Chain A
Amino acid sequence: MIPGTAERKTEKLVVIGAGMASGRVLEHLMTEAPGAFDVTLFNAEPRGNYNRIMLSPVLSGEKTYAEIVTHDDDWYAQQGIDCRFGESIVKIDRANKVVYSNAGGVPYDKLVIATGSAPFIIPVPGKDLPGVVSYRDLDDTNTMIAAARPGAQAVVIGGGLLGLEAAAGLALRGMEVTVIHLMGHLMERQLDPSAGYLLQKALEARGIRIHCKGATKAILGTDRVEAVALEDGTVYGADLVVMAVGIRPETRIATDAHLEVARGITVDDALRTSDPAIWAVGECVEHDKQLFGLVAPLYDQARVVAASLLGHEAAFRPVQTATKLKVTGCDLFSAGDFAEGPGREDIVFRDPGRGVYKRLVIEGDRLIGAVMYGDTADGGWFFGLIKDGTDISAMRDTLIFGPAFQGGPSADPLAAVAALPPEAEICGCNGVCKGKIVSAIEGGATTLDAVRAQTKASSSCGTCTGLVEQVLAVTMGDAFVLPTAQPMCKCTRHTHEDVRRLIKAQGLKSIPAVMQELGWTSVGGCASCRPALNYYLLSDWPLDYTDDRQARFVNERNHANIQKDGTYSVVPRMWGGVTTPDELRAIADAADRYNVPMVKVTGGQRIDLLGVRKEDLPAIWADFNAAGMVSGHAYSKGLRTVKTCVGSEFCRFGTQDSTGLGIRLEKHLWGSWTPAKVKLGVSGCPRNCAEATCKDIGIVCVDSGYQISVAGAAGMDVKETELLCTVATEDEVMEIVSAFVQLYRENSRYLHRIYKFVAKTGLDWCKAQVVADLDNRRALAARFELSQSVYRTDPWAEHAAPRERAKWQPLADLSLEAAE
């Protein structure tokens, strides 16, 4: 020490963890006050600071490790930092201010904990097998690169940011990749279902298989990983399994040292822990109940920590962050808070042709959140509006079009049709694709009639007329004036018929897919389009589509009819109206046991128990199931009853076994969902005691066989059936009725009963489809049977299962909770 100079002791600073946060802290210290500290830097990884977020480009081969190093040996040497890489801190002795690694202790005056976070490993059997890796550091990345061989299989568990980057990187290295994601859509924390759907589509287009709603049950293998098994029974072969299901703050040494730790190490605004000599920064901290998993806020923290270490006042204020997925070609952006909330409003823009989706969430006069897919060019601008809390009321109408908006066009109603590829089928009856119609138009067929005449499109049932007109409009531009048709609901400009045809033409298989591709203008549809879409998808893709229970009207959701007081009525099935003493006893017992206020015989030859409480539904069903009875679907847009008379078995006039045929029909058709309710009647002779000729489908037995007639009604409208055909055998009745029901299922608009459907399409067309054309009849009947292979099941059995019953009870009962 030179005499006369003020004694200035250089403080000892120890930093635990050489990650992205502490790297920034050191930079600030070294530029603002070089020499202020003697720094010792520990890192568990055998290397110094690198840009962790660039690991994904390293994985995919787009970058090398050398390119992502942020601080090299020279830099540490120049700053005089004592680097202890590959040395983990195992203990902090706060009383003596010493940290310990396995190599010994190092004293500190000030300590910074920057240990980041640890990947979360789901505790399934097989998680420790060789070949199972997490995705956190360079070593993980190198393990993945080493395991990646073209044609080998990889399973990535977790469809969040990290999992998808891993999946894309492995796919670029030629692996066959499957992503298993627990939630209903990808990146659910950053994206809403619509944007998640577009992302899934883009990833699938590059060969990555996505399995949403998949819960991992076990990782299989003996010496190393071989496969992944899911709860639903699916098994995916795997040479490599990447677990990317989440992270939790790495707080062990802080907890052991009795620092205050909640989910992360608790810090104040200056990032000080409960010990004034210790700071914490990065993913390991919890500030104001919040954790941080992206670098932007960590960099703000780093600035504050550096200032605070140097004795300056500084406070950390978390700001909004934006997310971007680093997968080349998948443009997505999300920022702020886009969850729905009280008083929030949405502005939605969809351009299915370009695969663009944008959604802004507004609260009061401010933009508070934005989600975008496909076109994210304006993301930064929106993010600025969110961060600055700009008053957007003046530009609200045009906000969604971004900063460059000059009064341009609003969403194009024809976009969905314009986007269809030439091979998309427009007319299902005649198998006419878009390309054929376009060539006809280009060849001079400039009116609907001309197109009909030349291509046959829309010349049969006519349900595709709207689409053909739209193809005319798209092809001819202003030269064709589009007739206005009634849209399905206020969420779309398409008619029911167009939506049905487009679902098939574009192969759309989920409600978010339909809403995105057909340009829905609302976020989640409405109470009128959601049930309709659910039905259309279920009817078109019986094997692929999972019924959306929440899109169903209460009666179908609860499999009972809601009554005016909120109680339900329960109707067990009575096949063809026939019952037994045992069934009657079971019904009587149930009526007693559940205090059913009214037991009534219905118009459809069954017994109705009215006034059942929702909580009792699973139990009463379980009782009926035990007595061999299934749901009567008295609530459904589906097959309800087959009313019969006694027929030849007992009646002196009966010509055929009408009861037996009724039972056979009901056992064949039950469980099927249809656009509206369907009721049948079978009478044993023309005296028609079953009133079959005012049913949706009526069969009247005659000496020579069976008269099948359709399109009767005895509801708001009263109408007699019209004769479809007369056949000689019961088997033909079965086939024609199935084919006709399927024709109706595939072509009718939702909520139209059969008489309305036939009035629209014409009885002659129906006859041509199911009577004259035998091949077509068989194909329709086969499609009906395929659908029934899924739906001919009793919904009560599922919901009455003991593990399901809790869902029918209140979530909580506070009625006995004491008041304060």
Chain B
Amino acid sequence: MTRYLDIGPLDDIPREGARVVKTAMGCVAVFRTATDAVFALDDRCPHKGGPLSEGIVHGTSVTCPLHAWVFDMGTGAAQGADEGQVATYDVRVEAGRVLLDTSRILRERAA
């Protein structure tokens, strides 16, 4: 079951940037693209744990700040020669507010 929580106004996330949401399972990076699409990914690069929220956003991809792996924010899959996957979360914008599907985050915590 999905459970959307309001995590704040879209305007608090910079265009082509990200903010993090703290959870008991670690941080989730919430990205906003140049055209206001939003994506949510685990804020941990599968390579060596780099904070993806601090990467450079370009189009719908983000480049990890530590060793420049590139991830498709839609699928969480590493691009190019690298192999890896970051968990993604459903996120949407309604009336200027960002809603994050927290069912997985909270369920895992309960388990």
Q: Indicate, yes or no, whether A interacts with B.
A: yes
Residues of A within 8 A of B (CB): 184, 188, 192-193, 338-344, 346, 522-527, 530-531, 549-554, 557-558, 562, 564-566, 807, 810-820
Beyond A192-B35, A811-B21, list 4 extra A-B contacts (CB 8 Å): A527-B70, A810-B20, A811-B8, A815-B22
Contact B75 A342 (CB under 8 A): yes
B residues 4-24 in Cβ contact with A at 8 Å: 5, 7-8, 12-17, 19-24
- Knowing A564-B66, A810-B27, the reply to whether A525 touches B106 (Cβ < 8 A) is no
8 tightest CB-CB pairs across the interface, nearest first?
A: A342-B74, A819-B110, A527-B63, A811-B19, A812-B7, A550-B16, A340-B37, A554-B65
Contact A814 B74 (CB under 8 A): no
Nearest B residue to A193 by beta-carbon distance?
A: B34
| A328, B20: Cα distance in complex, Å | 45
**Which residues on B sit within 8 Å (CB–CB) of A820?**
3, 103, 106-107, 110
Tally B residues with Cβ within 8 Å of A. 54
**Which residues on B sit within 8 Å (CB–CB) of A522?**
58-59
Shortest Cβ gap from A792 to chain B (Å): 25
Contact B30 A339 (CB under 8 A): no
| A558, B14: Cα distance in complex, Å | 14
Contact B57 A550 (CB under 8 A): yes
Contact B22 A812 (CB under 8 A): yes
Please name 20 pairs of A and B residues whose Cβ atoms are closer than 8 Å in the assembled complex, sorted by A: A192-B35, A193-B34, A339-B35, A340-B60, A341-B60, A341-B74, A342-B73, A523-B58, A523-B60, A524-B58, A551-B56, A554-B55, A557-B54, A562-B66, A566-B51, A810-B20, A811-B13, A812-B8, A814-B5, A814-B23
- Knowing A554-B54, A557-B54, the reply to whether A810 touches B22 (Cβ < 8 A) is yes
| A553, B65: Cα distance in complex, Å | 7
Shortest Cβ gap from A57 to chain B (Å): 30
B residues 92-111 in Cβ contact with A at 8 Å: 98, 100, 102-103, 105-107, 109-110
Nearest B residue to A527 by beta-carbon distance?
A: B63
- Identify A340's interface contact among B3, B35, B106, CB under 8 A: B35
| A816, B25: Cα distance in complex, Å | 11
| A565, B73: Cα distance in complex, Å | 22
| A222, B74: Cα distance in complex, Å | 53
- Identify B102's interface contact among A531, A550, A562, A817, CB under 8 A: A817
Nearest A residue to B50 by beta-carbon distance?
A: A566
Contact B107 A562 (CB under 8 A): no
Shortest Cβ gap from B30 to chain A (Å): 6
B residues 37-68 in Cβ contact with A at 8 Å: 37, 39, 48-51, 54-61, 63, 65-66, 68
Let me know if B83 is at the binding interface, CB within 8 A: no
Contact B51 A814 (CB under 8 A): no
Contact B34 A811 (CB under 8 A): no
| A558, B17: Cα distance in complex, Å | 12
Shortest Cβ gap from B8 to chain A (Å): 5
**Which residues on B sit within 8 Å (CB–CB) of A554?**
54-55, 65
Shortest Cβ gap from B69 to chain A (Å): 10
**Which residues on A sit within 8 Å (CB–CB) of B100?**
812
Shortest Cβ gap from A751 to chain B (Å): 13
Shortest Cβ gap from A539 to chain B (Å): 19
**Which residues on A sit within 8 Å (CB–CB) of B56?**
527, 530-531, 550-553
Let me know if B88 is at the binding interface, CB within 8 A: yes
**Which residues on A sit within 8 Å (CB–CB) of B103?**
820
| A646, B53: Cα distance in complex, Å | 44
Contact B105 A814 (CB under 8 A): yes
Let me know if B82 is at the binding interface, CB within 8 A: no
Nearest A residue to B5 by beta-carbon distance?
A: A814
Chain B 65-92 near chain A by CB (<8 Å), digits 1 or 0: 1101010011100000000000010000
- Knowing A531-B56, A811-B13, A819-B106, the reply to whether A339 touches B7 (Cβ < 8 A) is no
| A527, B33: Cα distance in complex, Å | 14
| A564, B60: Cα distance in complex, Å | 25
| A339, B68: Cα distance in complex, Å | 25
Nearest A residue to B103 by beta-carbon distance?
A: A820
Contact A814 B59 (CB under 8 A): no
Nearest B residue to A341 by beta-carbon distance?
A: B37
Contact B22 A814 (CB under 8 A): yes
Contact B19 A810 (CB under 8 A): yes
Q: Output the residue of B30, B49, B54, B70 with the most chain A CB within 10 A.
A: B54
Shortest Cβ gap from B9 to chain A (Å): 9
- Identify A815's interface contact among B16, B23, B36, CB under 8 A: B23
Contact B58 A527 (CB under 8 A): yes
**Which residues on B sit within 8 Å (CB–CB) of A815?**
22-24
Contact A346 B49 (CB under 8 A): no
**Which residues on A sit within 8 Å (CB–CB) of B58?**
522-527, 530
| A551, B73: Cα distance in complex, Å | 17
**Which residues on A sit within 8 Å (CB–CB) of B22?**
810, 812-815
**Which residues on A sit within 8 Å (CB–CB) of B37?**
339-341
**Which residues on B sit within 8 Å (CB–CB) of A530?**
56, 58
- Identify B34's interface contact among A192, A553, A819, CB under 8 A: A192
| A344, B35: Cα distance in complex, Å | 13
| A549, B20: Cα distance in complex, Å | 17
Nearest B residue to A526 by beta-carbon distance?
A: B58
Contact A342 B39 (CB under 8 A): yes
Contact B68 A527 (CB under 8 A): yes
Shortest Cβ gap from B29 to chain A (Å): 10
**Which residues on A sit within 8 Å (CB–CB) of B14?**
549-550
**Which residues on A sit within 8 Å (CB–CB) of B65?**
553-554, 562
| A815, B58: Cα distance in complex, Å | 29
Shortest Cβ gap from A363 to chain B (Å): 10
**Which residues on A sit within 8 Å (CB–CB) of B49?**
565-566
Contact B33 A340 (CB under 8 A): yes
Nearest A residue to B57 by beta-carbon distance?
A: A550
Shortest Cβ gap from B32 to chain A (Å): 10
Shortest Cβ gap from A815 to chain B (Å): 5
| A564, B49: Cα distance in complex, Å | 8
Contact B54 A558 (CB under 8 A): yes
Contact B59 A346 (CB under 8 A): yes
| A562, B48: Cα distance in complex, Å | 13
Contact B59 A523 (CB under 8 A): yes
Nearest A residue to B14 by beta-carbon distance?
A: A550
| A758, B33: Cα distance in complex, Å | 38
Contact B57 A343 (CB under 8 A): no
Contact A811 B33 (CB under 8 A): no
**Which residues on B sit within 8 Å (CB–CB) of A526?**
58, 61, 63, 70
Shortest Cβ gap from B16 to chain A (Å): 4
**Which residues on B sit within 8 Å (CB–CB) of A344?**
60, 74
Contact B35 A810 (CB under 8 A): no
Nearest A residue to B90 by beta-carbon distance?
A: A342
| A788, B55: Cα distance in complex, Å | 28
| A628, B25: Cα distance in complex, Å | 40
**Which residues on B sit within 8 Å (CB–CB) of A523?**
34, 58-60
